[in-house]
Amino acid sequence: MNYKKEVTKAMTMLGEDSRTIFLGQCVRYPGHALFGTLVNVPMEKRIELPIMEDAQMGMSIGLALEGYIPITIFPRMDFLLLAVNQLVNHLDKIKEMSEGQYRPKVIVRTMVGSKVPMNPGPQHSGDYTEAIRRLVANIEVHKLEKARDILPTYRRILEGDKSMIVIEMADLYD
């Protein structure tokens, strides 16, 4: 079973749902490994954004409050750190802050960067999975370390009612 092919199948499945929308850097134009997994996602479901991680997470929350299921893509976990304010203080707590009135579902997709064949340095290959797990109480964090878990995980997220952070592993792509 090929890791990248399974991710591509999962993105195709998500793209077929009328409620989903994909946003982030390099979702309409190539620039990182995650772009290739969107090959079957229609362009009209993709919103290309500049580098503005905190605003991207805020936009994702807003889209979720309007009934969409945003798949918000942060090409590296290191970049997701810039969105932690919105992630921890808003998305994770909005159910309690609204006394259960709002329950936005956002799929946060990120990756632990590869260190081979060329090490991109410490700002592009960090793994903050455990730290993020400790920061959130209502968002599930799932690290995809086996190809066989990819499609079932994304299907469970789509069918469920919770936000989830999904961490892919660049070293498993090819």
| Structural domains in the chain, sorted by start | 3-172 (3.40.50.970)
What is the spatial distance between Cα 20 and Cα 3, in angstroms, rounded to a whole number? 22
Total Cβ atoms within 10 A of residue 123: 11
Binned at pLDDT 50, 70 and 90, residue 119 comes out as low
Q: What is the DSSP-derived secondary structure letter of residue 21?
A: E
Q: Does the pLDDT at position 42 exceed 90?
A: yes
Q: Does the pLDDT at position 94 exceed 80?
A: yes
Q: What percent of the chain has pLDDT over 70?
A: 95
List the alpha helices (DSSP H) in the chain: 3-15, 53-65, 77-80, 84-86, 94-97, 129-135, 150-159
Q: Does the pLDDT at position 15 exceed 70?
A: yes
Binned at pLDDT 50, 70 and 90, residue 117 comes out as low
What is the spatial distance between Cα 36 and Cα 57, in angstroms, rounded to a whole number? 22
Helix 150-159 to helix 3-15 angle, to the nearest 10 degrees? 20
Three-class secondary structure of residue 112 per DSSP: strand
What is the residue-averaged pLDDT of the chain?
94
Three-class secondary structure of residue 143 per DSSP: strand
Give the phi and the psi of residue 70 in degrees, each rounded to 5: -75, 135
